[in-house]
């Protein structure tokens, strides 16, 4: 999927659409990619002279890539984060890096979906988390 196709799943738009391409590997796994250009809003003050992608933004990137797994379920719904658990930051992500998110659906219960997410740069694990989402009907 390119960004235009991803916009059909996610309500995010410029400045907050943080996945450039994504692919569903199988029913329970997907990958997403985003290259950090260096001019993103979240790098302007984090940290001057030594820009590093904030951890919450890394979680958002993985979360957006995860939503590709919900593509056939999001009609008239918005996927909302309900929980981030066991988040671990292993290595900083900087301008020029491409974060590859690997997301695995571990279970779902009704409108709730649970994802194991891992973010890699050049094959090196940088961030991992257990994420959950609720699909909330649009009104």
CA gap 16, 40 in Å, rounded: 10
CA gap 91, 99 in Å, rounded: 11
Check 12, 24, 31, 46 and give the catalytic one.
Answer: 46
**Is the distance from CB of 131 to CB of 70 less than 8 angstroms?**
no
CA gap 92, 127 in Å, rounded: 9
- Token reading at 27: 């029913």
Active site residue 12: no
Name residues whose C-beta falls within 8 Å of residue 75's C-beta, 6 or more positions apart in sequence: none
Task: Write phi, then psi, for 60 (nearest 5 degrees).
Answer: -65, -40
**Is the distance from CB of 19 to CB of 69 less than 8 angstroms?**
no
Catalytic positions are 46
């Amino acid at each position: 999927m390119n960004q235009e196709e991803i916009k059909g799943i996610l309500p995010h738009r410029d400045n907050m659409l943080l996945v450039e391409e994504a692919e569903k590997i199988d029913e329970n796994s997907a990958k997403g990619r985003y290259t950090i250009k260096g001019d993103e809003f979240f790098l302007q003050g984090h940290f001057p002279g030594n820009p590093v992608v904030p951890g919450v933004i890394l979680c958002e990137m993985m979360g957006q890539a995860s939503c590709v797994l919900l593509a056939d379920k999001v009609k008239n719904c918005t996927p909302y984060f309900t929980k981030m658990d066991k988040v671990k930051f292993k290595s900083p992500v900087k301008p020029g890096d491409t974060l590859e998110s690997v997301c695995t659906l571990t279970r779902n219960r009704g409108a709730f979906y649970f994802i194991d997410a891992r973010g890699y740069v050049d094959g090196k694990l940088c961030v991992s988390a257990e994420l959950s989402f609720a699909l909330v009907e649009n009104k």
